[in-house]
């Protein structure tokens, strides 16, 4: 799912002719989410290995790892909305700020 969203963001960036700084922000946001997903998978796999049964601490470790993905995704959405808002304002003729 995250890869599909990243593809849509990249396509939109190409259509909006984003400057280098905006691309850097988007690449950072995409990479952050992908790293969080990989770490979440690693934590879940390791927890399953060392604690195959149900244990409250195992559940907590998995929940915290999943929450990290949620926080990264929320940050990426925020960055995406800010960049898109700036790009659309620029396309509409506004001076557009810092990027």
Domain boundaries, given as residue ranges, for the chain: 2-91
Does the active-site annotation cover 37? yes
Instruction: Output the pLDDT for position 97.
Output: 66
Instruction: Output the pLDDT for position 44.
Output: 97
- Distances from the Cα of 64 to the Cα of 43, 44, 45, 68, angstroms: 10, 10, 14, 6
Instruction: Output the pLDDT for position 30.
Output: 97
Instruction: Output the pLDDT for position 99.
Output: 62
pLDDT tens digit sequence for 20-30: 999 999 999 99
Spans in the chain with pLDDT lower than 70: 95-99
Instruction: Given CATH 1.10.3720.10, say whether it is the number of domain 2-91.
Output: no
CA dihedral sign, ordered 36, 31, 95, 12: negative
Instruction: Output the pLDDT for position 19.
Output: 95
- Select which of 25, 36, 37, 87 is catalytic: 37
């Amino acid at each position: 799912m995250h890869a599909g969203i990243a593809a849509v963001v990249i396509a939109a960036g190409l259509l909006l002719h984003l400057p280098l700084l905006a691309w850097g922000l988007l690449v950072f946001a995409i990479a952050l989410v992908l790293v969080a997903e990989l770490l979440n998978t690693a934590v879940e796999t390791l927890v399953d290995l060392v604690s195959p049964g149900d244990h409250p601490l195992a559940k907590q470790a998995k929940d915290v790892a999943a929450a990290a993905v949620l926080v990264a995704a929320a940050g990426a959405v925020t960055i995406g909305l800010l960049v898109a808002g700036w790009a659309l304002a620029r396309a509409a003729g506004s001076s557009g700020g810092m990027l």
